[in-house]
Every structure is written in structure tokens, then in C-alpha cells.
Amino acid sequence: MSNHFTNKLVVAISSRALFDLDESNQIYEKEGIEAYRDYQLAHEKEILQPGSAFGLVKKFLKLNENRDNNNALVEVLLLSRNTADTGLRIFHSLRHYGLDVIRAAFAGGNSPYGYAKAFKADLFLSLNPDDVKQALHAGCAAATIWPGDNNSHDSASLNIAFDGDAVLFSDEAERVYKTKGLQEFNESEKNAAHLPLNAGPFKGFLMALQSLQQQDNLSLPVRTALVTARSAPAHERVIRTLRGWGIRIDESLFLGGLPKTDFLAAFKADVFFDDQKMHCENASKSVTSGHVPYGIANE
């Protein structure tokens, strides 16, 4: 959990991930920041439509229901390339939807990723892959959001799913698989079953979620799942690593290379984090996914 926000899970999100800003973003990319500013000022009173991560943010903030600000469990921060004056439309939209977001950083055309680290965020979500990569390099769990239909999500709980290698864990084992094949990978993992895997970029976020789960009187249950292509005998090292970290995951799916989409739907995931774009694209048929550009698959 963040040092700035004791006992709170801190989620930083870009304005484009929270709201649908595609039309105005095209103006920014084609005509520049001044044209973008004029457009936003002219439409300042128009409410923005929900974006890719809107539902997820709403779920996170639901955990603060019936709690005052001093006892809130989640802090959502808004990070934007906008200037503050164009950000008024965003704040109007936040109030319209009843989203309690009070802190923001407007970077005036620059990348806002650095403020995720400054706020000591546990997670940064964006639609800009370059911002996400830089946030990861700065040591913050970060992902590029891929919108999903989320037809199968559960309104009664917050369900977060993770791939293992290059997300929760380092890509050390995945490098063996990519360079030497499945048989060598299984043999290597079997021999290293008692040797803990190194941490991946999302270990800290998972630990923060576990701290959140241990809070009393949650208004919304929080459940986690490991959804990995691994199978026996490569499962043991993963289980022992999590045990060594003192982390409990609610559900673990060792799929042995099967497609993940149907299993994520069965888990009713609100979001799924994976290091491979292909898996994120497939998962987005059912759930919102977050691409984590880390490890050998992204080199």
C-alpha cells in the first residue's frame, strides 16, 4: 500500500482509459494541443461517455461505500495529458457519474506516467502503450487497457485475474520456454520446483490486493485468480513461490496451453492482466484485459 495513503489501494488511471476521448484525441494528434483545448472548452458542459476502464474503476470505488474519507480503502487518481482548464469537462463527468476522484495531475501535453510513481500508485492503467512501458520501467505495475464486453462479470464482487510468468513472476521461466521449447521448460521447472521464482511487475499490486482483502466489512468481496498456461509438473514451483511470498490467491487455473477466454468468463473477471497481446485480444471477447509490456514476449 502507498506511503501517501495509509491502508489504501492506490489506482492511477489516464483520462482516456476512464472516459471515451477518442474523438477529441484525434483532434489532439492531428491538430495539436491548442486545437484540442479549443474543442474541449467548446464542449465543456457535455458529459463524456464511459471508457475502457470505467466499470473497473466504479467497482474499485464501490469498496469505499459507507466509509468516510478517513477510512476509505481505495484512492483513484486521474492522470491526464490535458491542461487543467480543459480538465474541467473531465471533472464535470466525474461528478455526473458519482465517481469520487479528488486528486489529479494534468501534464499539459506531456506524458503523465511519472506522477503514478510520485503518488506511489499500486497500479497505473492507460491507453498509451509508451506511458505504460515507462511506468513499468519506473517500478509501477502498469497495463494498457483493452476493452471487453464483460457480459459475464459479477456485480456482487470484484474479480481480478493474472497471468503468471512475466506478470506476477519474472520472465525467467518463460525465456526457457521461448528459447528451448516446452519439454525443456517442464524439465527445468520440475528441477527448480523448490527454487522461488523472482518477482514480476505485478507482485506488489497482488500484495496490495491481499491487504485489501483482509480489511473488515468489505462492501464488495475481492477475489483473485491465477490463470496460466502452465500445467503439471510446472505447477509446483508457482505454488511454492506464492507460499514463500505469503500470498494467497483465491483461484488457480493451470490450463496446459488451453485458451484462457472461457475460463476468464467462468471466473467472471472484471480485468485480466497478461504479458502477451494475443492473449489480451482473445480475452477481450469476454472481459476487459490489461496488456503488461514486460519480458521476452515484448522484446
pLDDT the model gives residue 2: 46
pLDDT the model gives residue 260: 94
pLDDT the model gives residue 4: 58
Cα→Cα distances 131→25, 62, 80, 142, 295, Å: 15, 27, 11, 9, 17
20 annotated active-site: no
DSSP helix/strand/coil, 163? coil
Percentages helix, strand, coil for the chain, rounded to the nearest 5? 40, 20, 40
Q: Tell me the pLDDT of the chain (299 aa) as tens digits.
A: 444 556 799 999 999 999 998 888 788 788 887 888 888 888 888 999 999 999 999 999 999 998 887 889 999 999 988 778 778 889 999 999 999 998 999 988 788 888 998 999 999 999 999 999 999 999 999 999 987 765 557 788 999 999 999 999 999 999 999 999 989 998 999 999 999 999 999 999 999 999 999 998 888 999 999 999 999 888 999 999 999 999 999 999 999 999 999 999 999 999 999 999 999 999 988 899 999 999 999 98
Long-range residue pairs from 260-266, CB within 8 A, at least 24 positions apart, any chain? 260/227, 260/229, 261/285, 261/286, 262/286, 263/227, 264/161, 264/227, 265/152, 266/152
* Rounded Cα–Cα distance for residues 207 and 246 (Å): 9
pLDDT the model gives residue 149: 66
Q: Decide if 140 contacts 119 (C-beta within 8 A).
A: no
Cα→Cα distances 14→1, 131, 140, 144, 238, Å: 20, 10, 14, 10, 32
Domains and CATH numbers, the chain: 9-144 (3.40.50), 158-298 (3.40.50.1000)
Quote the pTM value: 0.92
pLDDT the model gives residue 94: 94
Exactly one of 68, 122, 149, 163 is catalytic; which is it?
Answer: 163
Q: Decide if 112 contacts 81 (C-beta within 8 A).
A: yes
